[in-house]
Chains A and B, each alone.
Chain A
Amino acid sequence: SQQGEEDPQALSIQEGENATMNCSYKTSINNLQWYRQNSGRGLVHLILIRSNEREKHSGRLRVTLDTSKKSSSLLITASRAADTASYFCATAFSGNTGKLIFGQGTTLQVKP
């Protein structure tokens, strides 16, 4: 399996604090994507970072990518209770099949 690993598996913080999630993968990638899943729902795309990019921002989200270490991190700043969800990284490989391999996910709980 080429599934990546994410840590922590679970994270509980207070509203207003920052949340950092990490993702590692095993092989060369074309891009890495982060998704969010609310309980019992589908996934929502958050941000995509290409293999030649090192950092990307979108609102309160900041994603970094270190291809030498085969790892990525997602930082959510000034968290809100509504950020409570599971977060998954997914890697896309060259060849344009569009196939994604998902990490194990991090469950984030933001307490009001």
Chain B
Amino acid sequence: GAVVSQHPSRVICKSGTSVKIECRSLDFQATTMFWYRQFPKQSLMLMATSNEGSKATYEQGVEKDKFLINHASLTLSTLTVTSAHPEDSSFYICSARAGQGEGQPQHFGDGTRLSIL
């Protein structure tokens, strides 16, 4: 089946640090990947749609300068949380579709738990 690998699984760092999270599709190409944020005991909130070779599409209220997305290849998208602060602490999850057709499910990475001290 389609596998998405997300790295790192856990980050603990000081306030002001920038953190990069990688999302890779291991056995398929993904022109589109998605980045979500999830607070404890809550649902997933879509942050942005990452498009290979072009700019990401951000959801309303998500700061594009804060959450930098780069989708440089068909198998890799990165999310960089710039100058992270404690309020950025959360569980970040990426996903990718294995195909372009409507009705294609998304395949999720295992998430990155970000803790900013």
**B97 interface residue per 8 A CB criterion:** yes
Tally A-B pairs: CB < 8 A. 68
A-side contacts of B93, CB under 8 Å: 42-43
B-side contacts of A50, CB under 8 Å: 103
The count of residues in chain B whose C-beta lies closer than 8 Å to any C-beta of chain A is 28
- Which residue among B95, B104, B105, B110 has the maximum number of chain A CB atoms within 10 Å of its CB? B105
Name the CB-closest residue of B to A9.
Answer: B41
**A31 interface residue per 8 A CB criterion:** yes
B-side contacts of A97, CB under 8 Å: 32, 49
Q: Is A105's CB under 8 angstroms from B43's CB?
A: yes
What is the CA–CA distance of A98 and B4 in the complex, to the nearest angstrom?
A: 16
What size tier do the contact residues of chain A reach? Answer: 20 to 34
* B residues 64-117 touching A (CB-CB < 8 Å): 91, 93, 95, 97, 100-111, 113
Q: Is B43's CB under 8 angstroms from A98's CB?
A: no
Q: Is B44's CB under 8 angstroms from A48's CB?
A: no
The residue from B42, B104, B110 contacting A41, defined by CB atoms under 8 A apart: B110
- Which residue among A44, A45, A104, A107 has the maximum number of chain B CB atoms within 10 Å of its CB? A45
**A101 interface residue per 8 A CB criterion:** yes
